[in-house]
Structure 1
Amino acid sequence: DVAHVRIAAPPRFGAALIHDRQGLLLLVSSLYGANTLKVANQAAHVIARLTPGLRAEGVGVDPRAFTPAAFIRVALLDLGHVLLIGAALILLVLLVALRDWRAALISFVAIPVSLLAAVGVITALGITLNTMALAGLAIALGELVDDAVVDVENITRRLRENRAAAAPAPRLLVILRASLEVRSAIVFASAAVVVAFTPVIAL
């Protein structure tokens, strides 16, 4: 005889103890690129449907053992708190730097609008909000705040000078000229940041 073949459960490896009693640990792994939260919710739904039948057979089910989705939910909740605190601090810094609540508000509004647009593009491309994507958004937001402050500060200064001029120019023309004055500097500064972080794409 070469071997004995029979239909049975695969050999057990490892050990699982639940409340000092032997148990069975069921592992559910998601495929590469799958959404962990979505997979965890679907697995929880399946377990909830199987639980009544298993308990009728005397098998206890505890789905709380180890769920990476729980850590992700906590991280997302913490991220929301950090975003709120960061938004308040950014608004405060803009008010102190620009000394004009309207200019500060204009710069501040550019942040959520740009963030929503970026998230929309990321979602449309099918990219998940992983660590790399969040880091990229953080870098982009930092660059956005810097550019917005430079742009709005120059526009505010030129409008103030225009109001004091003997023959004031049209308001829209002053805004356009003031924005174009700093445009090349902003573009080159943004390009330098992009070039500096380009090697990260190869990781």
Structure 2
Amino acid sequence: PNDTEAELKFKQVNEANEVLSHPENRKKYDQYGKDWQHADQFEQARSSQQYARSRGSAGGGANYGHSDGDFSDFFESMFGGAGGRSRSSGNVKFRGQDLNASLQLDLMDVFATQKRTLTLNGKNIRITVPAGIENGQTIKIQDVATVQIGAADKIGDGSLNANPAVIQTIAKQPDVNTLDLTERLDEAIADLESTLPKSVEIKNQIFRQSDFIDASINNLNQTLLEGAFFVVIILFIFLMNWRTTLISLLAIPISLLVSIIVLKLLGYTINTMSLGGMAIAIGALVDDAIIDVENVYKRLRENVRKPKNEREPTLTVVRDASVEIRSSIIIATLIIIVSFIPLFFLSGMEGRLLQPLGIAF
């Protein structure tokens, strides 16, 4: 009488006999497993749930959603607050529908423990198949594994400064302004950081396209300043005339403005490559301006030294001086342009990346 193990075995035998001898009990066991004796409670819970759902909009205004699993919250929400008395069902677990899957095992698999991955309802479940399985034998996952809902298996690895990290990339649409988008993302990240644990740190300065654009703008500004400086030094010191210096300086911003307008008409935007093309063009632009202005200034001085009756009109002198060196300037510029022509024959990503540089130049 004091043998607990024998008593448990006897109880299991009686339960098995009760299940096998009654088809209705066998049906409940196939559906609910070890909890087949609570089948009536499950059915009552479902009926009560359907009734509560149909009555949800009348009187109390309660609305109970369906959830497979623990019904204790369901019963407590319905009956627990009535007169301070709780009539909960006692935290009965509800089993979902059983899922079956077939495995093909060869002779070696039967002799050794195997790990297999099953795909059920779109979810991958990794199980361990014990050794000694007979053909047609049913194995319950609960007997060989612990199944729980969790995060998917990590694919690959991310690190920052040799520390584990999660890397996320945000891709923008082609017509979105990168600088404005980056500023808005920084504001959103700042709001998000206030809700994260102290151990979580967001690094948003790792790879930002706005940094490259800012660097290109800074390079262009530096090139403009250097070009203006050398124009002033060369023309003013050697020609000692502020008018020629001013004309050459005005050529730089006017040319850049025309370039931006042309890019806009062609459907191109200001980006890293187009800014690079403008920066390269400033060098050739300054050279052409210095050569043209210097020759015009020289011809004007020669015209002033002539007798009054031999002097030509100023506009004629300027035109003739420009025409005199125009062919050489055009040829030199065309030679530089020819070096950019291969960029327009590139296809794929290289072509899309480098063509704005050639067009801006």
TM-score scaled by length of structure 2: 0.46
RMSD, aligned α-carbons:
3.4
More displaced 10-residue stretch of structure 1: 108-117 or 7-16: 7-16
Residue among 78, 83, 93 paired with 2:234: 93
What whole-Å deviation, never above 9, does each CA across 1:41-62 have from its counterpart, x for those lacking one? 232233344444x33x778452
Residue among 170, 191, 198 paired with 2:313: 170
Q: In structure 2, what is the equivalent of residue 188 of structure 1?
A: 331
Q: Which amino acid aligns with 1:93?
A: I
Q: Which amino acid aligns with 1:85?
A: E
Residue among 248, 254, 259 paired with 1:113: 254
Taking the aligned partners of 2:167 and 2:296, their CA distance within structure 1 comes to 63
Q: Which has the higher contact order (CA 8 A, sep 6+)?
A: 1
Runs of 4+ more than 6 Å apart? 17-20
- Inter-CA distance 154–80: structure 2 relative to 1 (3 Å threshold): closer
What whole-Å deviation, never above 9, does each CA across 1:48-84 have from its counterpart, x for those lacking one? 44444x33x7784524351323454345335434532
- Inter-CA distance 134–94: structure 2 relative to 1 (3 Å threshold): farther
Residue among 282, 288, 293 paired with 1:147: 288
What whole-Å deviation, never above 9, does each CA across 1:19-51 have from its counterpart, x for those lacking one? 96x654332234567654344223223334444
Residue among 202, 208, 211 paired with 1:62: 202
Matched, 1:28 2:144: no
Contact residue 159 and residue 166 of structure 2 kept, 8 A: yes
Contact residue 299 and residue 317 of structure 2 kept, 8 A: yes
Taking the aligned partners of 2:165 and 2:272, their CA distance within structure 1 comes to 35
Q: Which amino acid aligns with 2:167?
A: L
- Inter-CA distance 112–164: structure 2 relative to 1 (3 Å threshold): same
Shift of 1:8: 6.5
- Inter-CA distance 17–198: structure 2 relative to 1 (3 Å threshold): closer
Structure 2 residue ranges without an equivalent (≥5):
1-100, 102-117, 124-148, 347-361
**Larger radius of gyration, structure 1 or 2?**
2
TM-score scaled by length of structure 1: 0.75
Shift of 1:114: 0.8
Number of residue equivalences: 200
Larger relative helix fraction? 1
Taking the aligned partners of 1:15 and 1:194, their CA distance within structure 2 comes to 44
User: Percent sequence identity over matched residues?
Assistant: 35
Q: Secondary structure of the residue that 1:44 maps to in structure 2?
A: helix
Q: Secondary structure of the residue that 2:119 maps to in structure 1?
A: coil
